[in-house]
């Protein structure tokens, strides 16, 4: 079974380098690889050290990223550049990973996992959000 290519992981690291997920506190993205073929919400809780009764919300990738990938008239040059970076990231994830899903674990202080399949592994990004 082919493992996730180093090139794919390097590209993900490059795409997310310096990119922060916007919430009440902004958090960086971490790239990860798991040797699983699929994951259920229950398995995700176990794998990430969350209790089994943790609130989990599953989202489509486009719904999750929509506010970061939509250009606004009032954006300055820096904000427009960031929107383009998010658009590139979402395109990359959709083109290189299968069955991409977003999992939000917890309430208020939320752990976010964006997970897709590639070469028999789960590859994804982890970040956090503060939502009160």
Name all domains of the chain by residue range, CATH numbers in brackets. Answer: 6-130 (3.40.1460.10)
pLDDT tier for residue 4 given thresholds of 50, 70 and 90 = low
What are the tokens at 49?
A: 């050290």
Share of the chain above pLDDT 90, in %: 84
**Residue for token digits 């550049």?**
81
Q: Is 55 exposed, middle or buried (0-12, 13-18, 19+ CB in 10 A)?
A: exposed
Identify the CA nearest to 37 among candidates 102, 98, 112, 111.
98
SS3 assignment, position 14: helix
pLDDT tens for 23-75 read 999 999 999 999 887 888 889 999 999 999 999 999 999 999 999 999 999 99
């Amino acid at each position: 079974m082919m493992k996730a290519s180093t090139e794919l992981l390097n590209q993900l690291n490059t795409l997310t380098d310096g990119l922060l997920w916007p919430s009440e506190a902004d958090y960086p993205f971490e790239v990860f690889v798991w040797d699983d073929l699929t994951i259920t919400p229950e398995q995700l809780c176990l794998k990430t050290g969350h209790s089994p009764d943790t609130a989990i919300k599953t989202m489509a990738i486009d719904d999750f990223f929509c506010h970061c990938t939509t250009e606004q008239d009032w954006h300055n040059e820096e904000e427009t550049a960031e929107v383009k970076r998010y658009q590139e990231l979402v395109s990359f994830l959709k083109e290189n990973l299968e069955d991409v899903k977003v999992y939000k674990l917890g309430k208020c202080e939320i752990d976010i996992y964006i997970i897709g399949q590639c070469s028999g592994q789960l590859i994804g990004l982890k970040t956090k959000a503060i939502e009160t």
